């Protein structure tokens, strides 16, 4: 039997997986040059955003019940310096960060959702921390998608319902039997 807390954890995992997939599909559509390019010193290259996400994920999701989410070993300012090692190093950081997120989420029990954890000494429930991080990661994945789309030219493959295809998408959705399901299930199946 599903409880509200287990549904929340399952839904959060699906949402995080969705944003991971969006970032990957965007980054696959561009050259290494695009991934490491920043227009000016105040801009972040896609690789820099990935480096920042990695640092945040490692810090926030490691030992969440025994340590503050802002670890003393995290060097946040260094996350905004250029990433060395090319696309391979960038994707290794991407995978390590996301694996840390999914390991932590997968280890949560229903009772953990209401436990208090700390980020920079600010106490919050695990559910609040999940929402906080989901919003943060969606923000940065949106930046990644934007940069990749802007630099892919006419070859961009839409990551959502393509322009002028809403009506046919809705038609397919309304042909389905009405049922309780998570809206990301069909999108994640398409992404495989």
Task: Give the pLDDT confidence score for residue 6 in this predicted structure.
Answer: 85
Q: Give the DSSP H or E segment for 125.
A: strand 122-125
pLDDT in tens, 55-83: 999 999 999 999 999 999 999 999 999 88
How many Å separate Cα 37 from the centre of its chain? 21
pLDDT of 190 higher than 60: no
pTM to 2 decimal places: 0.90
Lowest mean pLDDT among 24-33, 43-52, 83-92, 154-163: 154-163
Q: How many residues does the chain have?
A: 192
Phi, psi of 58 (to 5 degrees): -65, -40
H helices of the chain, in order, are 4-27, 32-35, 46-61, 86-106, 126-150, 166-175, 184-190
Q: Which domains does the chain have, with CATH numbers?
A: 4-190 (1.20.120.450)
pLDDT in tens, 28-58: 999 999 999 998 888 999 999 999 999 999 9
Q: Give the DSSP H or E segment for 119.
A: strand 116-119
């Amino acid at each position: 039997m599903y409880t509200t807390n287990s549904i929340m954890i399952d839904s959060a995992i699906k949402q995080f997986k969705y944003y991971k997939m969006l970032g990957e599909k965007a980054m696959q559509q561009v050259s290494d040059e695009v991934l490491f390019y920043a227009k000016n010193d105040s801009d972040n290259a896609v690789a820099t955003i990935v480096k920042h996400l990695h640092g945040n994920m490692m810090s926030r999701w490691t030992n969440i019940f025994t340590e503050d989410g802002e670890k003393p070993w995290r060097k946040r300012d260094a996350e905004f310096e250029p990433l060395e090692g090319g696309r391979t190093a960038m994707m290794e950081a991407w995978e390590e960060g996301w694996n840390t997120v999914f390991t932590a989420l997968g280890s949560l029990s229903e009772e953990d959702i209401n436990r208090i954890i700390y980020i920079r000494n600010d106490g919050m429930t695990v559910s609040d921390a999940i929402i906080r991080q989901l919003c943060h990661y969606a923000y940065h994945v949106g930046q990644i998608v934007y940069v990749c789309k802007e630099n892919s030219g006419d070859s961009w493959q839409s990551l959502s319902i393509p322009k002028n295809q809403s009506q046919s998408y809705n038609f397919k959705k309304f042909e389905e039997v009405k049922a309780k399901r998570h809206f990301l299930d069909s999108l994640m199946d398409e992404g495989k």
